[in-house]
Amino acid sequence: MKALVVYESMYGNTHEIANAIAEGLGSLGEVVVTSVADTASTVEAELLVVGGPTHVHGLSRSSSRKAAAETASKDDAIDIEPDATGPGLREWFKQLPKVAGVYGAAFDTRLDKSQVLTGSAAKGVAKRLRRLGYESFIDPESFFVEDGDGPLEAGELERAKQWGRELADRLQPALH
């Protein structure tokens, strides 16, 4: 089985989570991790896992990516991902064709507070995946950062690997 993990990341936290999820998915076979900027508008995989940072209660917008870049430019301690200011998941989803027989899963990074206060990009990702025909088999998952620009909270990378293993375990019966 081929799995594709697509991420959008501003400060590297979501990128790290995507890599950890991919590591957990390893038992499925081929797993490719790619930024949304480097991903084609067609997906050739049996599993598509998509995630991004939560911005203003949901998926990033051009304006929120610009604000993230401005924040990073004012603080030498903050590094910004190379494609952070380019098109994000919201724009990428608009290009994707409908599919059938492909599994989808959603994740995000956000502050560890009530979703009522923070929102969740993963919910928006899951909704877009369903609209495109991806089969949902697991609830969207959030991974937590200590502050808006990170770092990840302790234990989140291991939790992301475990979530990847859980995805793989749930899909194993469907593969046989």
For the chain, domain boundaries: 2-175
Reply yes or no on whether the pLDDT at 175 is more than 70: no
pLDDT digits (tens, 9 = 90+) for 70-84: 888 888 888 899 888
CB atoms within 10 A of CB 75: 9
* pLDDT number for residue 83: 86
What are residue 112's phi and psi, to 5 degrees? -85, 70
pLDDT digits (tens, 9 = 90+) for 15-73: 999 999 999 999 899 999 999 999 877 778 999 999 999 999 999 999 999 988 888 88
In angstroms, the CA 71 to CA 69 distance is: 5
Asked whether the beta carbons of 69 and 43 are under 8 A apart, the reply is: no
Q: What are the CA-CA distances from residue 162 to residues 24, 25, 85, 165, 166 (Å)? A: 6, 9, 30, 5, 6
Q: What are the CA-CA distances from residue 165 to residues 67, 75, 145 (Å)? A: 34, 36, 21
Q: What are the CA-CA distances from residue 138 to residues 24, 37, 73, 107, 121 (Å)? A: 15, 25, 37, 10, 16
CB neighbours of 166 closer than 8 A, spacing ≥ 6?
Answer: 24, 138
Pairing of strands 47-53, 141-145: unpaired
**SS3 state at 75:** coil
The CA angle 43-47-52, to the nearest 5 degrees, is 80
Question: So what's the architecture of 2-175 in CATH?
Answer: 3-Layer(aba) Sandwich (3.40)
Asked whether the beta carbons of 147 and 75 are under 8 A apart, the reply is: no
Reply yes or no on whether the pLDDT at 128 is more than 60: yes
pLDDT digits (tens, 9 = 90+) for 134-171: 999 999 999 999 998 999 999 999 999 999 999 999 99
